[in-house]
Amino acid sequence: MIGTSLEIAANYLHAGQVVAIPTETVYGLAGNALSEEALVKIFEIKNRPRFDPLIVHLADVNQISHYAAEFSEKAKKLAERFMPGPLTLLLPKRNLIPDLCTSGLAKVALRIPAHELTLKLLNQLPFPLAAPSANPFGYISPTTAQHVADQLGQKVPYILDGGPCKIGLESTIVGFEQGEAVIYRKGGLPVEAIQECIGKVHIQPHSSSNPAAPGMLKSHYAPRKPLLLGNISQMLERVDPLTSGVLSFRTQFPQVPPAQQVVLSPEGDDIQAARRFFAALRYLDSLPIEVILAELLPEQGLGRAINDRLTRAAARSTSLD
């Protein structure tokens, strides 16, 4: 059921159930982060491997120290500047966070979503919410309530509808090693903004197994259709344009039917492109085509995070070579 009732969502969560919630990044599949029973349901509904940790959503910055054993000055500086917002901090956890939530790791991923409806929900609850993206594991992340319903159907008793996600990419995850900031996942907060706030950061490449933080797996965010990444003009010379879909940054290709193309931003705006990205990938995946051709964006701003998602979405597909 899709609706806007905070009372219904809260009642399900109090009962140990899982509901879908809106955020500014993507829709999340939420349950009581302190309840192993609720956490198990999240993993089961998503068919998510239990070595991939979950992000815990809080109501305000003051709650961070309640769940994190350490809260460094750099972490505080980032929290003060970018929370609520598309930032997740990876910090040493306190014991009240179940090991299942962190996949047995010593650090917990914490964030405060910048969405009015979900913040109201969090402020009504006596517990934080663990909430990975509300989609089957490895598939395209949802950016509307209907996307969640289409993917998870009756597996989720309630979907809290907060409208389309304003950012459309998952949060940027930042942790600290020997006092140095590390970006474990590029996301809705640009790398440049983090560097401007706290100085130099190290960007961690994704891992193929046992990730140190949520969302680090090499193959992820993938459509069911093969997705090939490269120079679209060159790839179109080697496939049938009539049975191909195209996901481009700024350019339309006349040899491909218009209904089989999505241009993320004709103006070259990476923020607009990010907002449209997952919905565009989902649309192309729904068409009766054989392959999706996509290109990388300029490696700056949110283009970095879009490129990260494209690279991982294409990881399982065979190249044209």
In a domain, 120, yes or no: yes
Give domain status of residue 216, yes or no. Answer: no
Count of domains for the chain: 2
Q: Is residue 167 part of a domain?
A: yes
Judgement on whether residues 84 and 21 belong to the same structural domain of the protein:
yes
Identify whether 211 is part of a domain.
no
pLDDT at 222 over 60: yes
Domain that holds residue 292: 227-313
Q: What is the chain's mean pLDDT, rounded?
A: 93
- Check residue 215 and give left, alpha or beta (phi > 0: left; psi -120 to 50: alpha): left
pLDDT tens digits, one per residue of 258-315: 999 999 999 999 999 999 999 999 999 999 999 999 999 999 999 999 999 999 888 7
Which two tokens mark 125? Answer: 């609850």
192, 238: one domain: no
Task: Report whether pLDDT(63) > 50.
Answer: yes
User: Both 193 and 290 in a single domain?
Assistant: no
Phi then psi for residue 302, to 5 deg, are -75, -10
303 and 173, same structural domain?
no
Question: How, if at all, do strands 28-32 and 180-185 pair?
Answer: unpaired
| 212 within some domain | no
Shared domain check, 63 and 13: yes
Is there a single domain that holds both residue 183 and residue 272?
no
Examine the domain organization and report whether 86 and 141 are in the same domain: yes
Co-location of 187 and 233 in the same domain: no
**Strand ranges (E), the chain:** 2-3, 19-21, 28-32, 55-57, 87-92, 107-111, 129-130, 159-160, 172-177, 180-185, 202-203, 227-229, 244-248, 261-263, 291-294
Q: Is 25 part of a structural domain of the chain?
A: yes
User: Which tens digit of pLDDT belongs to each residue from 116-148?
Assistant: 999 999 999 999 999 999 999 888 999 999 999
CATH number assigned to the domain comprising residue 242: 3.40.50.11030
